[in-house]
């Protein structure tokens, strides 16, 4: 292997986790409809909705992000 192919493989090895885990985590953390950071009053769970989504994306990766995107998309009103 040459140095160029080793550098490209190392670059690709860092790019895949950043794209499939870092970008979705950043999106969930910064998206306005992600919910609050704190738990709602009267809730027995100590975590807020946004932290729950972050945990799901962290554990499930792209699948957790897809769940977040599909859940937070506004639905059409029935006629």
The values of phi and psi at residue 36, to 5°, are -85, 165
53-72 pLDDT, tens digit per residue, is: 999 999 998 899 999 999 86
Q: Are 66 and 56 in contact (CB under 8 A)?
A: no
Residue 49 in tokens: 């909705």
The dihedral sign for the CA sequence 64, 70, 74, 77 = negative
38-50 pLDDT, tens digit per residue, is: 888 888 888 889 9
Residue 26 has pLDDT above 70, yes or no: yes
Based on the structure, what is the number of domains in the chain? 1
Residue 75 in tokens: 């639905």
What pLDDT is recorded for position 78? 65
The rounded mean pLDDT for the chain is 84
Let me know if residue 59 belongs to a domain: yes
Domain that holds residue 53: 18-72
Let me know if residue 77 belongs to a domain: no
Let me know if residue 56 belongs to a domain: yes
């Amino acid at each position: 292997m040459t140095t160029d192919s080793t550098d490209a493989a190392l670059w690709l090895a860092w790019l895949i986790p950043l794209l499939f885990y870092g970008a979705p985590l950043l999106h969930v953390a910064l998206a306005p409809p992600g919910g609050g950071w704190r738990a709602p009053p009267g809730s027995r769970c100590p975590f807020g909705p946004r932290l729950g989504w972050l945990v799901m994306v962290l554990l499930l990766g792209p699948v957790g992000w897809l769940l977040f995107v599909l859940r937070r998309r506004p639905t059409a009103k029935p006629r």
